[in-house]
Chain A
């Protein structure tokens, strides 16, 4: 701030503290409440902006830590990540990405409407945004329930169950399912039919002395029950990070929905925050774009590993 403020102070003094805000729906002139610590509206608005950006920086660091954990484990265990991510549904992820991208657009429209003091347009755009985010949450919910159904949730990463489920879902279909989830590992079909030693038949002379395991989906060879356990645990790492990151993201979405709902309520009540000011909407818009961008990173990192 410069000496500009000195001159601005006079005009600011006019608005300071006086509570009556004339709803001036056509002039487009906003006279937001000026809080006592600020000199003028300009200073107040700039403060909000700087504050919001600073907050978003902390948010970036917040997610950044998880992204770091993700990249460290992905470099450490490329195979596991590659395999485990196949349990995620790319179509659902894509729909969600589209939903969020669109919602960012509708949010821009909402802010725009507020700036031009178009009350109903604002409410409508916010409504669409909320709707889209509910679509997003709904699909996330479906994804989560599938994972839980498959036994891939924190505390129980059940590879065995997941693989069977996967087999049930995808059996007979062409495409990438043919080989099952783990390319380095018995394919699902093999597992289902009782996996036999890396495609070596008992007649093979090299198989002499190797005990054959009974058939069944999850008896691994060589009497090493740890296999299933081991795969579960490795895959667990992927899903731990998946749940941690998408969960944290979903919490942010929910908070966003709540805030947008509040905005709609305020707009319905013709509250000066909406009629005389557009900063609240713009701040929430900024937040929303941030949440969106996080997903833009999450989607390829989780769903599109290659």
Chain B
């Protein structure tokens, strides 16, 4: 196996973050290899979302180092821009742009950030809209789509930038139950193509099916980390056991 550091997609080394006086991330050490799928779970307020938002600088860490695809995250705006081009993010509340059509949502960043010609951007957008199985909605507005469809568009929108890493922040928590499956299926097919994924989610079925590792966070720190099989069958830490008993019942 080659030097693991060379294949590192994301490295977080001794990362701490405070919101004012509140110590929200404590000594985070994480090493994500390319092509790995990581599911992060934990009670609310445990800092899971904050941690992945530090990876594309939607949140700033105060101590430690965050290195994404070989580039270290600092206050340097150019580096931040570079990293954001390689990292895609899907939000809990979709955050589609309501004043643009679906296809305009998808072509906005390629046109303005990658300086693609419009026709090329539209071809790429249609390709990914087909991937998430809603090409016919291209000229509709987000307000006309269901939640599940909107989230799939959000995934396609991120994919149009050809990211190397995809972050998912509770992608199905805001969906009605009957729409969760269509989004999870999309994410599974994405995983099967070898995308590096960090997913904050409570969907344990998804974790069991697709994840390489499951991470449990509580009180801002990584409490336990293991393969899905071991994690669910043999949780080691007391808090992990407590959490799993609450979730799985």
Q: Do A and B make up one complex?
A: no
